[in-house]
Amino acid sequence: MKETLDVTVILPIKSSLPRDFDEYFERAIQSLKNQKTGYKELIIVASQEEKLQNYLKQYDFQDVPHRILTWEGESSYANQINYGIENANSEWVTLFEFDDEYAAIWFDNVKKYSSYYPNVQAFMPVVVDVDEKGVFAGFTNEAVFAANFAMELGYLTNDILQDYQNFQSAGMVFKKSVYDDFGGFKSSYYALFGNGCFNRIYRNAWARSKASSDDEFF
């Protein structure tokens, strides 16, 4: 039995589904099944659209732990996310969209990162963007990380978020405690970007290796 991360996956689905929704949704669910480290459950917050409701009722989720909640108000991505988070019973929460796919090592990495950095409350993924044909188009979130890394701020500011509009929360794994009851993140919390984590771990490992070599040398 594989290890699990105490995380709930929130998947909001609005109305007016695209023609290729089935294909995207299947790949998204498969990426959850492929996770090296498991998760607590998937919460789908679906609009009232009859076609969508029927599709989800008939879909074979197999061994994917899940709940399907119906959002009865006007279809709204933000409101549906808030509703999903309110119903999550886990320490961590992550946002997922039907056209997203998680790398198989993502939850496994977060589990390791969270033990390595216990004070960090949000882990940002390296987001790989592709075009309609699935061809690599670029990275998202890296510009935000690069700006902070270059300026050595160590934290995000409103000015940076205004300059880098491509900042994404999809795939982000964060503690439910940093999300306020009224919806939206608290004004201050510790976040770690994928590249930042890699650089810090690499630097620390290099420092330990150098110290070990020096000890042996002397």
Provide the CATH topology of domain 4-217.
Spore Coat Polysaccharide Biosynthesis Protein SpsA; Chain A (3.90.550)
Per-residue pLDDT reduced to its tens digit, 75-108? 888 889 989 999 999 999 999 989 888 889 999 9
Q: Which of 64-73, 112-121, 150-159 shows the lowest mean pLDDT across its residues?
A: 150-159
Work out the pLDDT band at 151, boundaries 50, 70, 90: very low
Round to whole Å and give the CA distance between 3 and 37.
5
Overall average pLDDT of the 116-132 stretch = 72
CB 10 within 8 A of CB 69: no
Q: Where are the domains of the chain?
A: 4-217
In the chain, % helix, strand, coil (3-state, to 5) comes to: 40, 20, 40
Q: Which of 28-32, 60-64, 116-120 shows the lowest mean pLDDT across its residues?
A: 116-120
CB 48 within 8 A of CB 14: no
Number of H helices, E strands in the chain: 7, 9
Residue with tokens 């039907």: 98
pTM of the model: 0.73
Question: What is residue 211's predicted lDDT score, i.e. its pLDDT?
Answer: 39
DSSP assignment letter at 178: G
Average pLDDT of every residue of the chain: 75
Question: What is residue 149's predicted lDDT score, i.e. its pLDDT?
Answer: 47
- Name the strands in the sheet holding 173-175, side by side, starting at the edge strand that comes first in the sequence: 66-70, 38-46, 4-13, 92-95, 173-175, 122-124, 191-193
Round to whole Å and give the CA distance between 48 and 75.
8
What are the structure tokens assigned to 30, written together? 């498969």
Work out the pLDDT band at 162, boundaries 50, 70, 90: low
Work out the pLDDT band at 65, boundaries 50, 70, 90: very high
